[in-house]
Amino acid sequence: MVLADCLIQLKDEIPGTIKIIHQHAEEVPPGGAKSIVDSGALNDVDNILGIHLLPIAKAGNVGYHSGYSFAGRSYFKLGIQGVGGHGSSPHLANDAIVAGSYFVTAVQTIISRRLNPMDMGVITIGSFDGKGTFNVIKDRVELEGDIRYMTLETKAIIEKEVRRIVKGIEAEFGVQCELTYTSDYPPLYNNPDVTAIVKEILECTNDPDIKEVVEYPQLSPSDDFAYYLEKIPGCYFYIGCTPKGVEKPYFNHNPKFDIDEDALIVAAKSVGYVVCGYYGLE
């Protein structure tokens, strides 16, 4: 809000319009950014900027990455319906746990054998609900998973192969499968031209609070800011925030996550400098 107040004070000197986004529901897929984009409120915006705190660097460190920078994310839920039975008579049953276990193993071959080795992809089975009794063959299991990818091409390959494996499991094990597959966030793409401007402005800033401007690698988390960048050329850059005296900080969303609050000043100043530099203001 302090940054917003400062920009409002400069509004008569700024030869353009600045919109400050107060966004809802970032962490609830598909995120609040999508609904703001769909509303048309940003149809007249030429460029867009965003920042994110990251604890992998100290306060004073500002990071950037050009091109695909954050991974996209999809979610799936798979229900497998077999035929229950007793452990003494497996031939009279159709074990859903066996079929589900095969799925867990088979989907990993998508990453190892269907993707280009130079492309990033991750499939995580985060939940396998097959609780039952030790001597009873389970008739139904449910699995939930998280999928990450850095390009839309990789996204399409993984989804196609997951669906193909599900059909194969139905045929091989004689089970019925119910697959829910949704795309939560697209890959986040930083426009190279805008990112180069951000980098240049921050590197030329003579401010003791901004100590270093460095290129970060691609990161595998996802963020709904990607929806803005699908529509508007822009840059989502990063603000270091490792707490003072901490060598191994906890990453975002960990219950022990903490920050060096000096990073908040760096965050506000960084965006302010980029905005003013974009318009040629000092």
Domains of the chain (ranges, CATH numbers): 2-70+187-278 (3.40.630.10), 72-185 (3.30.70.360)
Structure token pair of residue 135: 């001597």
Confidence (pLDDT) at 282: 67
pTM here is: 0.91
Distances (CA, A) of 255 to 113, 186, 207: 36, 26, 33
Residue 27 pLDDT level (bands cut at 50, 70, 90):
confident
Confidence (pLDDT) at 88: 97
Residue 142: pLDDT over 80:
yes
Three-state secondary structure call for residue 182: strand
Give the whole-angstrom CA distance, residue 177 versus residue 160: 16
Mean pLDDT, residues 238-252: 95
Task: Find, among 45, 58, 62, the residue nearest to 203 by Cα.
Answer: 62
- Beta carbons of 259 and 243 less than 8 angstroms apart: yes
The mean pLDDT value of the chain amounts to: 95
Give 110 or 8, the one with higher predicted confidence: 110
